[in-house]
Amino acid sequence: MVGSAIIRGLQKQGQTNIITKTHAELDLTNQLNVRSFFEIEKPDQVYLAAAKVGGIHANNTYPAEFIYQNLMIEANVIDAAFQNGIKKLLFLGSSCIYPKLAEQPMREDFLLTGLLEPTNEPYAIAKIAGIKLCESYSRQYGESHGIDYRSVMPTNLYGTGDNYHAENSHVIPALIRRINEAKQQNKSKVTVWGTGTPRREFLHVDDMATASIHVMNMDESEYKAHTSPMCSHINVGSGTDITIKELVETIANVINYQGAIEFDTSKPDGAPRKLMDSSRLNSLGWQHEINLAKGLESTYLDYCKMYLGH
Ligand SMILES: NC(=O)c1ccc[n+]([C@@H]2O[C@H](COP(=O)([O-])OP(=O)(O)OC[C@H]3O[C@@H](n4cnc5c(N)ncnc54)[C@H](OP(=O)(O)O)[C@@H]3O)[C@@H](O)[C@H]2O)c1
């Protein structure tokens, strides 16, 4: 989802020489293949959006795969980029790098100040390692080799190219799918897990792409003025959160579902609030552009085109 959005964003800016590889063409956990890719292609810049991703269930069931594959992808790509003289790289992390009980909104300097959420700790540790790889290469080789590797931490993303898998999707695609099915099947109600009171932040993936391109191309002195060598990552969010109840109502409205929404309060809620502090990026000149209602409308149209053929 994010990689494709970055490609669309770069193409919009007139960039034509973009090298991509599918997972089937290049397994980034394979060090030899990654090295030979970089030796042949020698790109000017690298956006590292590839990762093994998944929801709570997948993270809990396959913790070894989540930590191993993500560590390998990051270590292979970042080192091969360095070995081949690539000066600019952007690594995509995640908001789950922050402690489970972090104060809200979460600032960049809250990293490594407390225990992580246990369900996705292996994934989060790998993402933290990705940040520290970028930082360490920049610190050690910044002056001598001009290395400038940066990282961005996206909040919850949604939009074009999302995963609508029945069991393994994030909250927005899962709700779009379920509410749309309820509408098609004339169901009188949809049941949503939890109380509906937790607050979450969402960002459209096209905004994530503009943020990524902005951070990648930002002037080095400006970037350095707003970060520090050992706290160099940048949060990317919309800056506002809404309750799950408000989210469900907005999606039902976009889909024009007239049935009732019921909350199953016997089911777990998760953290009461998860909001990133994106003021660092805002002060570096980026703002999100797509508000949630508009973003959900276009996302629903995409869903209809992709899965319903209209
Ligand atoms: N979506 C969100 O809400 C969100 C939030 C925070 C952070 N992020 C971060 O944003 C980045 C992109 O996420 P996304 O939502 O765009 O996920 P996505 O759509 O699943 O994209 C990840 C891509 O990485 C590829 N990949 C996985 N393992 C690989 C390997 N060993 N070699 C080569 N390619 C591999 C996947 O290919 P296959 O599908 O073929 O395996 C997929 O194309 C990730 O780093 C993720 O942690 C996403």
3-class SS letters over 139-206: HHHHHHHCCEEEEEEECEEECCCCCCCCCCCCHHHHHHHHHHHHHHCCCCEEEEECCCCCEEEEEEHH
Q: From CA 65, how far away is CA 69, in angstroms rounded? A: 6
Q: Note the pLDDT of residue 194.
A: 93
Q: Ligand 1 mean position to 48 CA, how many Å?
A: 9
Helix axes 244-255, 171-184, angle to 10 degrees: 40
What tens digit of pLDDT does each residue of 51-110 get? Answer: 999 888 889 999 999 999 999 999 999 999 999 999 999 999 999 999 999 999 999 999
- Contact 77 CB / ligand 1 (< 6 Å): no
Q: Note the pLDDT of residue 107.
A: 98
DSSP 265: T
Q: Note the pLDDT of residue 55.
A: 82
Residue 295's H or E segment, with its range, is helix 292-303
Q: From CA 148, how far away is CA 150, in angstroms rounded? A: 6
Q: Ligand 1 mean position to 225 CA, how many Å?
A: 30
> With 80 as the cut, is the pLDDT of residue 310 above it?
no
Tell the residue nearest (CA) to atom 34 of ligand 1.
Answer: 23
What tens digit of pLDDT does each residue of 110-154 get? Answer: 999 999 999 999 999 999 999 999 999 999 999 999 999 999 999
- Contact 157 CB / ligand 1 (< 6 Å): yes
Q: Note the pLDDT of residue 240.
A: 96
Phi, psi dihedrals of residue 279, rounded to the nearest 5°: -70, -25
Of ligand 1's listed atoms, the one at least distance from the Cα of 28 is 32
Q: Which of 36, 112, 39, 48 is nearest to 75 (CA)?
A: 48
Active site residue 164: no
Q: Ligand 1 mean position to 50 CA, how many Å?
A: 4
- Active-site residue, from 47, 62, 68, 123: 123
Label residue 269 by pLDDT band (50, 70, 90): confident
Q: Mean pLDDT for the chain? A: 96
> With 90 as the cut, is the pLDDT of residue 43 above it?
yes
Q: From CA 73, how far away is CA 229, in angstroms rounded? A: 23
> With 90 as the cut, is the pLDDT of residue 271 above it?
no
- Contact 156 CB / ligand 1 (< 6 Å): yes
Structure token digits, residue 162: 């999302």
Q: What number is the average pLDDT over the span 226-249? A: 98
- Contact 94 CB / ligand 1 (< 6 Å): yes
Cα distance from N-terminal residue to C-terminal residue, the chain: 21
3-state secondary structure of 24: coil
- Contact 154 CB / ligand 1 (< 6 Å): yes
The neighbour count for residue 14, using CB atoms within 10 Å, is 6
Distances (CA, A) of 287 to 91, 106, 251, 293: 20, 17, 24, 17
- Contact 92 CB / ligand 1 (< 6 Å): yes
Q: Ligand 1 mean position to 181 CA, how many Å?
A: 26
- Contact 70 CB / ligand 1 (< 6 Å): no
For residue 180, give every residue at least 6 positions away whose Cβ sits within 8 Å of its Cβ, in sequence order, or none: 255, 257, 300, 303, 308
The answer to whether residues 216 and 18 touch, using CB atoms and an 8 Å cutoff, is no
What tens digit of pLDDT does each residue of 157-216 get? Answer: 999 999 998 777 889 999 999 999 999 999 999 999 999 999 999 999 999 999 999 999
Q: Ligand 1 mean position to 65 CA, how many Å?
A: 14
Q: Note the pLDDT of residue 131.
A: 98
